[in-house]
Chains A and B, each alone.
Chain A
């Protein structure tokens, strides 16, 4: 089963290879990997998606916790959380019908056109893995020239905040419910 593991790490020399080395030495898979700073200086958040049975996932978590510079390891998959990744695509968009079709997909998926040329767009879209996948599938017949994906990042949902408040302030929340309906 696919799991999203979130690691809070001291951002020091060689930290990425410590984590990547642990995974390769023990035969665990890294499907995607994302590293970026947090609000606290010197501390980074790594988000890794991986897969394996419960035993493997438990070992990944326990072995990661043993790395001296890892502050916290969380298996996001076991608790309510929001997961997002960003994709950028260069797609064919010749003036006329094709361009209109791309724009309508952009509208439906709440994507953005971030660059325009005579016969192509660069699109930017954020969503969970399924939504990103669906967007890519629909664009394929129209012609995708290039694609980059960040891999997912994840955040635990704060359960005690009222759903109503989230709905007002957070566009992501309505997207989430939209996806859940689909």
Chain B
């Protein structure tokens, strides 16, 4: 990124903090880009002729007489079909050794979709993972995060979902990704022969944290190009949004803003919503679906980051290690896909909603029985049966290594019901019981 000829060069910076610097300048627009001492920066505040810039790479070593050049435009990305298969940094510059992408220049962080122009999401995204397809079906145009502890295999599950999801383009926005995880994604996509439909914008832990703030907007600008201009189904993976929010709090802190809950800026909700609400089903058939990762500290979902995220996204997915079967499962209690009602029993078999609910209810009964057992109480015959059911349910359906279609999942659930329970205990609408209860 460079400026054009005949630009005014400023050389007198009056304030420098760790992330921002302030100088006297005129004719500068809000959110405009600038180059400070060779580093990219963006206008975040203007007071009369005092302009404050946020320097993405940090201000270490910037002298008060550094050269400052304004670009007269906000951050942008050049979009074209050539983006496919490429890896970029947070500024949209290639990091894979290839040439710069030519194409139409689009401002990042553009306007929102008019709500009345949206279409209701109605297309199921099948992943083969029953913990998702059966209990928490995903839909195109949805936005949903994994709430995971840092040690959980969320990157693996996300890569699996991305490859199985039959999207036209997969866009990875990596924020504070470790180099190992970055290479993992790269390998998985390469091995699957899927590189030509993958675009990555990556900020690794080696890069300055404030740069991360550009990653989601870059990824979503590319997504909008393919979904709107090319009518494609685009899946955007954002990992890890907690590190994104941390970068927000760094900047707001440097700007002396009053923090709200958990030292996060008061605008956290709006900041996150602007990103997640880019998920949309367009009338012309294209769509943007966002699957994100929000890492938790010690499983605490009341922290401001997961809490605000939960209010924005359409559900959340939790992973948990089930010690009874020794596998990682998608937790049926805490996971939720809000848009599943739009497809289950409509795009999938009619008995789907009731089977799903009955299985989760029985699984909950098993959890109660387990508590009883741990407290040293005798178990009833029903309790014993729920425990047996829970183990099989976990192994055959909830485990993330399961890969079967939805019909097969439903049949499996009915088999488990019939093996362990009476029809009254399962409590499903009679017409479905008559139709699907295994006959032998």
Same complex origin of A and B: no
